[in-house]
Chain A
């Protein structure tokens, strides 16, 4: 089944404790992206990657890191999480074809205490 998977789905952590949220897609998509969703603010892009070893900032990159060492994986790293990073996070992917329909993972609900 074609899908985008994220792990963990739920995470409660404390300020300053480094964490990684994994994202993997099995559709051989070139493009991958991370969004966060907050009440009243909607979905905002954090980082995106056009292909392996190519990443760039979205609208709200502060406090986050990403890497794209393999085509299928695009982990989101929070080196020193803070409470304002409490949010619902989504990973998305899209092919490089002309249609570029974007597919989203199930989301990771992160709480930073």
Chain B
């Protein structure tokens, strides 16, 4: 059974710092990995999607990498801003036809201090 772990559970950084969020998964047979952002009491916003054949994806100040063989992904946030404060979730979709189920980590709660 796939297990997804995110460390640390919470992170506090001063504004302007670059930071890395970590995600690890136990079964490397994945189809893709998706990073989400969740604001308190709100839904999930998709940030980046990395296919199993890809090594990284970039969107603005965000860069996500994937090392499938070692079961790890990182989300790099450059020049952090207070508006980046949220919980960040990673989710993996297992490989295999017809399997769309996502297995989520419990998230990293990020606080960016002005």
B104 adjacent to A107 (CB under 8 Å)? no
A43 adjacent to B89 (CB under 8 Å)? yes
Q: Quick one: which of A31, A44, A45, A106 contacts B43, CB cutoff 8 A?
A: A106
Chain B count of residues within 8 A CB distance of the other chain? 23
Main secondary structure of the interface of B (DSSP, over half): strand
* Interface size range on A against B: 20 to 34
Residue ID in chain A nearest B31 by CB atoms: A100
A109→B100 CA distance, assembly (Å) = 24
Main secondary structure of the interface of A (DSSP, over half): strand
Q: Given A40-B106, A50-B98, A101 and B43 touching (CB < 8 A)?
A: no
Chain A residues with CB under 8 A of B107: 42
List A residues at the B interface (Cβ < 8 Å): 31, 33, 40-45, 48, 50, 58, 90, 92, 94, 98-107, 109
